[in-house]
Amino acid sequence: MVVIKIGFVSRHEPESVQLAAMFIDWLRSETKSEVFVDQEIAPMIGSKGSTVEEMERQKVDFIVSIGGDGTILRTIHKMADPLPILGINMGTLGFLVDVEPKDAFETLEHLILGFEVDERSRLKVLLNGICLPPATNEVALMTASPAKMIEFEIIVDGSLMEDFRADGVIIATSTGSTAYAMSAGGPIVDPRVDAIVMVPMAPFKLSSRPWVIPGKSIIEVKLKMPKKEALVVVDGQSTTTISTEDSVVISKADTPARFVKVGHDGFYAKVKSKLT
């Protein structure tokens, strides 16, 4: 019998950790699965801990993330070549989490027998030629001083696309189109579409509108107002301060994010159920 390797990560809230402990005990006692537990929650459930990076090196078949989208994004950020992730929803909205707790045991039972993987493009982020963590959802560049606009220059494949003043700009993947970008007025993009979304945040000009551009585009973002700083925030997980001397270049990452496919309802059904 083939032994499947499963990793577990979780929010630190008692309810999420307790649910993780139930799944881990069941998998270890009732299946032939080899289970790895994130070192941050392992002491809470009396288990040996492993880092996410160790799970990646051990070639875990998939990782179970118990929490919300933030838990999944933090886990992906720790991996150079992300393993498939199954999200169990302990959050509120959650576009990256597919399974409700009441369905989790039955889902895991099926996945142990085999599963498909859905690959999603990420964004490579270079700051002055140095790599920041790739973005699964979005890269947000925003003013470092609340209520004070900054001026952006957006260059796509060597051509000037936009020059505008705003509170910030969001550059998102198709997957991230239903996250921060949507809240800022951007379009919903089917994740099967190879595209990048650019959404100005509270722009000063009425003509500054969201753009959908090809996924293979190379986007350079520059600040134009001297002595003004901005923050580069990747998936809400990492924050870096930049100024007019800095250059941010965004393009498609070499490695995708990977998600375990669950059910057949698809993206449109998910949008309808979560946004209505």
Q: How far apart are CA 41 and CA 230, in angstroms?
A: 35
Rounded-to-integer distance, Cα 136 and Cα 251, Å: 12
Report the DSSP beta bridge partners of residue 222.
153
Catalytic residues: 69
- 207 φ/ψ sector (left φ>0, alpha ψ -120 to 50, else beta): alpha
Report strand pairing: 5-10 vs 34-38: parallel
Instruction: Order the strands of the 219-223 sheet from edge to edge.
Output: 130-135, 123-127, 248-252, 219-223, 150-156, 159-166
Is 95 strand, coil or helix? coil
Report the C-alpha gap between 31 and 253 in whole angstroms: 36
Q: Which of 267, 264, 265, 260 is nearest to 115 (CA)?
A: 260
3 state DSSP class of 60: coil
Q: Give the three-state DSSP class for 159.
A: strand
In whole angstroms, give the CA distance from residue 245 to residue 254. Answer: 27
CA atoms of 181 and 170, how far apart (whole Å):
6
What is the rounded CA–CA span in Å between residue 87 and residue 68?
7
